[in-house]
Structure 1
Amino acid sequence: MPNITEPKLISGNANKPLANAVARRMSMHRGMNVKPVDARVERFNDGEVFVEVFENVRGEDMFILQSTSRPANDNLMELLIIADALRRSSAQRITAVIPYFGYARQDRRMKARTPISAKLVANMLTGAGIERILTLDLHATQIQGFFDIPVDNLYASPVFALDVKSQFGDLSDVMVISPDVGGVSRARELAKRIGAPMAIVDKRREKAGEVAEMTVIGDVTGKRCIIVDDICDTAGTLCKAAEVLLEHGATEVHSYITHGVLSGPAIERVSNSVMKSLVITDSIQPTEAVKNCPNIRIVPTAPIFAQAILNIWSGTSVSSLFETNTLGPIYEGLYSTD
């Protein structure tokens, strides 16, 4: 372990409540007060980002907590400039904690003359002096290969499994649903953790954002269905999938989505949907509309991020957080760890 007193956390403006919650959890684990480093992250009148760090960070192990969510470009620039400020202030190591990794959906060329923006973002982060990435449920796990630095990709499925066991009680009639063929591995992971069968909703798109047809692969008759995915943007596909599942005999439909982007008409769609509940994490700071939506529930990520940061700082395993017997005690008080 480096000869450093304590890990230090600094936050951009993307998700300050999560940064403060992570700091509180770190304080509990360390038995001392941990709070985000005093800094200002502001904008000039023309929109330029300016950062000033008010504390000494020389030789420190710095963790920048910043989701690159909407406004994606502004939050990405904040992250890059904070990293540059820390590097020029002689921080020993800089880790970017990115709960929601923006541009991850642009991880390959779908047609001619298009970019691979996720790779460009990876190059920018590395060029800014960031030496390690900690994120949650990358849209495509191969994005880890875009970096030449360590990338720790945490998974929401262990946390979701704790929540499902706490909320659903008897799981004998529960079935996990993948909303497309590409998300099968994610759905299978949750299904394995809760001991439930799995089905797939296969969708065919005419163009981006519009679903022409959906087919259910598997028998969902009499099942309480849990749709699992990493991102919910406009919620059109999700709400349509819930309708199709009920048409095929499901008794009720719930959704567990890691990143609640929830843009455009998403909140209205979810409110009027046949889904009984949509569960998201706080990887993206929820708006007031999200908080007030009666069928949206938010699962905290501060416990897992705080422990992951401490594990990275101390040089211990991050992958241990994928196991229920390790994660359960971290979420003690929120869920039963039986």
Structure 2
Amino acid sequence: MKSLTTLILIPIFFSSGAMAYSAGGGNDYNQNAATSVGSSSNSLSPGASAYGANSLATGLNSTAVGLNANSNDEASVAIGSNSSVKTTSGVGKEGIAIGNDSSSDGWGAISVGGQSKSNGDTSTAIGYGANSTGDYSTAVGRGATTKAASATAIGHNSDASGTNAVALGNGASATANNSVAIGNNSTANEENTVSVGNDLQKRRITNVADGIANNDAVNLGQLNNASNNTLMSANSYTDNQIRNLNSEFNERINNTNKRLNAGIAGVTAIASIPYLNGNRFSFGMGSGTYDNGYAIAAGAQVHLTPNTAARVNLSLDSSNNSAVGVGFAAGW
């Protein structure tokens, strides 16, 4: 009886050069190599395959495997109970959903894991409950979530909700655009920043090379060296300034002493000029020294009357200072 059934089915399959197959109450797209296996399974496009009760493969060359599995897009694959590949825009292609209750909505979107969801062109969600929303976004890990274009979340319950944001690690969260959060429960909530901790948990970054360019990071050793060099330069500058001030102060004191000594020598020289009181006119010269100063002096005296006289004295000292003295005397 089995041989007779086989002989009857073979002409049906190949009578028009194409093959369609249905079993267990399935429905296939007639004579276009479609396959339906399972109660109420349906393959409604050429090359489509539906395996499992209520499975549905409507996309060209699509595959649906599992209870209520649905592959709606061209060349899409849905594997797992209640798995679904269906693009909202209706123009999706090559999406993949693997896992119970997994779903993919977007051109080339991929979901792998129970209850995983990818919603966006070429978005990827891998892990139980992973959810990738946004074109080109990637969520990897149980409960990992992305909520913006080109965002990446890797790690259990990681969350990247900013455009181009990256969250790496368990519970890491990057909520601002272009932000990066690295490490367990790290938070990056400001644009264009990198965080390795949060308000309550701080971390050190180790093995950082010395910075070279203006925008490079600086490590503590490099900072200490720079501080030491700055301190040494400041100390050297201060020492030089003090030495210069001390030298200038000493020089001024020495110059003052020289001028003072020369002045005393000038006074001594004037005092040393002898005069002839018996003559109406007399002229005299004198010299004087004091410490390292010296001077010469000259003077003239005239008796204006027998009871009056006038005198003029001039000195020149070693500090190039000159002094002039004028005197008048009267007697009766």
Structure with the greater alpha carbon radius of gyration = 2
TM range (shorter): under 0.3
TM-score of the pair, normalised by structure 1: 0.18
Higher relative contact order (CA 8 A, sep 6+): 1
Q: TM-score, normalised by structure 2?
A: 0.19
Q: Which structure has more helix as a fraction of its residues?
A: 1
